[in-house]
Amino acid sequence: MGHSMGSPEQVKTRFKTAGGNSHRLLRLWTSAAAGLALVLGFAPPLAMAEPQPSAREILRMVRASESSQDQSFSGKLSNSTSRGKVVVPLRLTMRGGTFTYQFLTPPPEALILRMGEKGSRLERATGSGRAQVVTGAKLDELVRGTDISYEDLAMKFLYWNNATVVGEQSLMTRHCWIVQALPSSREDSQYDMVRLWVEKTGGLLRAECYSGGKPVKRFDVRGVQRAPGGGYVLKTMTIQRLDASGRDRTPTRLELNPT
């Protein structure tokens, strides 16, 4: 997930077009994030007098930010458990709405996320043959022994139509809208709700995933850094699988560095 800093005039243009021409908007933007990537950027916050866009418009802004990225990163996923420490070096490339995660340790594996206007598609290549679309129960599986599932990387919650703005909150000194999104049916996701903290230029700073009415996973941006071409991008993020007490004593950590 991510986007670079724009001027105040550019930021205002983003908001004026947020509910209008989607093609213009898709050329603007960031995680994180996600996505995983989740790569995030920041721009000066707008005055509070600006009209609040709808939840669908806010999600469209996030998708537009993600789709406009043109960056390459080296990095790693790490997780310490009672069974030992897991370290997964990776290379992330973002080009025109396509995110490629290349894992650098055996077994060979690359994940390709394609973000379109109406939906996303996650493909998995394992070194032999063509990449296969990740569907069904495979989406629920965790990637490389970390806390991230294939569904998390697919970021399908950014396309859920049943969404509502439920509040506002400041994170990392950034004023955020809080958007609550629900899947169209329980079969569409392992989660029954995702709550998103989106700063005023479309950057996704936090995501909480719920199942059975309880939070089961949280993504949090912990640090940003200057990008070589200007602006700011994600440096560190934590991904936690929450237990009944709402804690994760061994969270996964994502670290990225522009290349």
* Domain spans, the chain: 8-253
What whole-number distance in Å separates Cα of residue 247 and Cα of residue 64? 32
Residue 2 confidence (pLDDT): 43
Residue 80 confidence (pLDDT): 85
* C-beta separation of 38 from 233 below 8 A: no
What whole-number distance in Å separates Cα of residue 4 and Cα of residue 201? 10
Q: What phi, psi does 104 have (nearest 5°)?
A: -100, 5
Residue 83 confidence (pLDDT): 75
* C-beta separation of 101 from 90 below 8 A: yes
Residue 4 confidence (pLDDT): 38
Cα–Cα nearest to 49, from 175, 148, 158: 175
209: part of which helix (H) or strand (E)?
strand 204-211
What whole-number distance in Å separates Cα of residue 194 and Cα of residue 188? 13
Stated pTM of the model: 0.79
Count of other CB atoms within 10 angstroms of residue 7: 10
CATH architecture, domain 8-253? Clam (2.50)
Q: What is the mean pLDDT of each run of 10 residues along the chain (259 residues)?
A: 40 40 35 41 46 94 86 94 86 94 95 95 89 95 94 96 96 94 92 96 94 96 83 89 91 95
CA distances, 107 to each of 81, 115, 116, 127 (Å):
21, 26, 29, 9
Sequential DSSP letters for 69-102: -EEEEEEEEEEEETTEEEEEEEEEEEETTEEEEE
